[in-house]
Amino acid sequence: MISATRRWLQRNRTGVAIGVGVIGVGYVAGQYVLSKITEARERMAGNRIAKENLRRRFQHNQEDCTITVLELLPTVAENIIEALPSEKITQQLQQKKAERLGKSAGTSDAAPSELSSGTPIAADEDGRSLSSFQSEGYVHASQLRASSSGNGESRPPSSKAQLWNDLKISSITRSFTLLYTVTLLSLLTRIQLNLLGRRNYLSSVVSLASHPRHDPTISLENHDNDIVERAYGNDFETNRKYLTFSWWLLHRGWREIMVNVEDAVKEVFGSVNPREDIPLERISRLILDVRKAVEGASPEERKTRKWLSFLLPPSNQEESILQESGMSTPPKPPQSPRVQNPASMPSPLASPPSVSTTSPPLRRLLDETSDLIDSPMFSHVLTLLLDATFSYLVDRKLRSEAYKLAPLTPTPIPEPRITEVRDPDPLTASAKLATILAVITREAHKIGNGVPNEYVQAIEAVSELEAFAAVVYSSNFETEAGVETNSTPDATASGGRDEKAGGGKGGEDENGSGSMSAAEVEEVVRVGKGGGTMDRATGVIDAAWGGFENVWSKVIGSGESAMKG
C-alpha cells in the first residue's frame, strides 16, 4: 500500500506540486485580501470617527463664537450709545414742551385741573412714539416740576428744529452703527475662534502622531510635546494676545464706522422733515441709500470695499493695542541720573514696536486674519449678514411698530423681494418720521443689550455664515503644516500685513481663503443654503479632508524617520 502510494506520487509529482502550490498561493492571497479589507474597514471607521470629531469640534466652536459675541457686544454698545445720546436730545425736546405748557398753565386758572387730568393720560401713553408726544403735547407732572425748578439754569441754545434734526441724525446713526458693528464683530469672532480651533485641532493631531502607541521609551519631561504645541499654535499666551485684537473694534474701529454712517445719514436723511409722512417703501429706499453710501453702490464697489481698518489695527500700532488692553507691559525707559524733560521723552504707546514684540505664530495669525477680511468671500458674507439685520429692522420692527402692519415672516425658500410685498397695505400705509425715529431709538438698546438678542439670532440664521466658518476651520490644513514645518521664524516674522497694498500679507493666493477659486466660493455658498449647522459643515469639511490626510501622512512619515534616526 505504501509502495503503491509512493509510486503514484512519483508518477504524478508534477501535478501534486502544482496543486499544492495553487492551494498555498490561494491561501496566501486570500489572507492578503482579507487583511486589506480589514485594514480598509479600520481606516474608513477611523476616518469617519475623525470626521465626526472634527464636525463636533466645529459646532462647539460656533457656539463659543455666539457666546463671545454676546459677551463683547454690551461693551461696544455702551460706547456707541454714550457717543450718540439720543435720549438726551429727546429729554431736551420734552423740556421745551414742558416749559411751553408750564407758561400756558401759569396764565390760566384751570391749569391745575388740566394737569391733574393730563397725568394719567401721560402714564397711559408713556410708551408711544415721539410723534404722539409732539402732536398731542402730553407731559408728566414730574417733568413739569423738573422744568420749573430748572428755570434758573442756562437753557440749551439749540432751537426746536435743530433739536429735531439732531435727534434724527443721532438716532439713525446710532442704530445703523450698532448694526454694522454687531455684524462685523460676529464675522471677526468667527474668524478668530475658527482659526484657533483649526490650529489647536491640528496641534492635537500632530501631538498624537508624534507619540506612537508602541513607543517603549518613557520620558519624564515631555519637552517634545510642548514644542509641537507651540509650533502649531496651541500656545495659550499667543492665543490670548490674538483674541485681544478684537479690542480695536470695540474701542476704536466703531468710531470710524460711526463717522462713515453719520456722513451717509446726513446726506440721505438731511432734507427729510420729522413731521413728514413717509411710506414704508420710501423708508426702505432711504435706508438702502445709506447702505450704498457706506458699503458701495455696485457689487464691484462692495467687493473692493476695505473693512480691515475697522477690525484690526495697523502693524505699527499692534504693540500699543496689547499694552492698552493689558496684555503686555510697555518697555521701561532707561534710567538716567539727569532729569529729562517729560515732553521730550518718547511715549511707550506712541513708539513703534520692535520686531521681537510680535511672535511668529501671532504674526501668522494676524496675517491670515487680514487675508480673510480682504477676501471677496468676506465681503459677500458681510453683505448677506447686513441684509439680514437691516431686513429685520425694517420688515419686522418698523413694519409692525411704526406702520402697524403684520411683520414679514421669513420663508424657507428665498423669493425675490418684490414678491414678498403683495398686499396693497404697505404701499398706502405711512408713518411720520418722528414715529420711525422713536422705534429706531428704542431698537438701539435691543441691538446692543437685548436678551435674547434678536439681531444676533438673525445673523446666526444666515446659512452662509456657517459655511464661511467651515471654510476657515477646515481649509488649509496642508498649508498650515507646511508653513509651520518648512519656514523659519525669522522668515515668517519678516513681513507684516502692511506689505500688501490694501490689506493682507501674502496676497489672496497664500494663506487664508484667497487660495479658493470662484467656483469653490460658489460651492461654499451652495453648501450653506440648506440644512443645519452639521449638514452645512459636512460638505466643506469633507472637501478639505484630503489636505488633512496629507498632513497626517507627512507627520507620520516624519515621526517614523525621526525614530529610525
Model confidence band, residue 315 (pLDDT cutoffs 50, 70, 90): confident
Phi-psi region of 487 (alpha: psi -120 to 50; beta: other; left: phi over 0): beta
Picking from 511, 475, 508, the residue whose alpha carbon sits closest to that of residue 303 is: 508
Q: At what angle do helices 141-149 and 86-106 cross, to 10 degrees?
A: 90
What does the pLDDT average to over 198-223? 62
Whether a cis peptide bond, with omega within 30° of 0, leads into 274 is no
Residue with cell 506612537: 212
Task: Specify the pLDDT at position 391.
Answer: 95
Alpha carbon 377 to its chain centroid, in Å, reads: 13
Using a cut of 0.75, tell me whether the model's pTM lies above it: no
* Per-residue pLDDT at 132 exceeds 50: no
The DSSP element (H or E) to which 529 belongs, if any, is none
Could you report the per-residue pLDDT of 496-549, keeping only the tens digit for each?
455 443 444 444 444 444 444 444 444 444 444 444 444 544 554 555 555 555
Average pLDDT over all residues of the chain = 73
Indicate the SS3 state at residue 144. helix
117 versus 364: the higher-pLDDT residue is 364
Model confidence band, residue 444 (pLDDT cutoffs 50, 70, 90): very high
Model confidence band, residue 393 (pLDDT cutoffs 50, 70, 90): very high
Could you report the per-residue pLDDT of 280-303, keeping only the tens digit for each?
999 999 999 999 999 998 888 888
Picking from 187, 170, 71, the residue whose alpha carbon sits closest to that of residue 448 is: 71
Q: Where are the beta strands (DSSP E) in 272-370?
A: 277-279
Task: Specify the pLDDT at position 112.
Answer: 46
Tell me which of 245-259, 291-305, 353-367, 546-560 is least confident: 546-560
Could you report the per-residue pLDDT of 200-211, keeping only the tens digit for each?
887 777 666 555
147 versus 268: the higher-pLDDT residue is 268
Task: Specify the pLDDT at position 106.
Answer: 62
Picking from 471, 463, 439, the residue whose alpha carbon sits closest to that of residue 541 is: 471
Cα(111)–Cα(278) distance, integer angstroms: 36
* Per-residue pLDDT at 453 exceeds 50: yes
| Residue 536 near residue 527, CB atoms below 8 Å | yes
What does the pLDDT average to over 371-399? 94
* Per-residue pLDDT at 185 exceeds 90: yes
Task: Specify the pLDDT at position 530.
Answer: 44
What does the pLDDT average to over 60-73? 93
* Per-residue pLDDT at 150 exceeds 80: no
User: For the chain, what are the domain ranges?
Assistant: 52-83+165-212+223-328+348-564, 86-146
Task: Specify the pLDDT at position 351.
Answer: 43
Which residues have CB under 8 Å from 155's CB, separation 6+?
Answer: none
Cα(87)–Cα(95) distance, integer angstroms: 12
Could you report the per-residue pLDDT of 35-51, keeping only the tens digit for each?
999 999 998 988 888 88
